[in-house]
Amino acid sequence: MTLREICEAASVTRRAVQVYEEMGLVMPTGKTSRGYLLYDENAQERIKIIRRYQGLGFSLKEVQEIIDASSEVKRKALLERIEKLKDEGRNIENQIKVAKELLESL
């Protein structure tokens, strides 16, 4: 796949893939005769995994630290993220409660 094709397939921007490359998260697997970078299915799958971690709130630096780590390291990071998301959820619920109270006082 070319850069354009992998961006379309993985629903990411060219810049995102370039940043992933700069960080060593994804690497092209070759070049066309015209010099266009090529990526294989593994790169596409890896980009999808990166996006899933980002969707959970992991920074790219955090993704860089855990993507190739052992299952135990990944498990620990995910458990910590779950707790953080739960805390954020509770905070949002409290904010909604306060907003409703304010709304009712109008």
| In a shared domain, residues 82 and 64 | no
Structural domain of residue 31, as residue ranges? Answer: 1-68
| In a shared domain, residues 62 and 74 | no
pTM for the structure as a whole = 0.85
| In a shared domain, residues 29 and 80 | no
Q: What pLDDT, on the 0 to 100 scale, is given for residue 96?
A: 97
Q: What pLDDT, on the 0 to 100 scale, is given for residue 83?
A: 97
Of 81, 28, 76, 79, the residue nearest 54 (C-alpha): 81
**In this structure, are strands 37-38 and 30-31 parallel, antiparallel, or unpaired?**
antiparallel
What one-character DSSP code corresponds to residue 25? S
Of 77, 73, 17, 75, the residue nearest 47 (C-alpha): 17
Q: What pLDDT, on the 0 to 100 scale, is given for residue 60?
A: 97
| In a shared domain, residues 39 and 55 | yes
- Average confidence score pLDDT of the chain: 95
| In a shared domain, residues 76 and 58 | no
| In a shared domain, residues 3 and 33 | yes
Residue type, 98: V
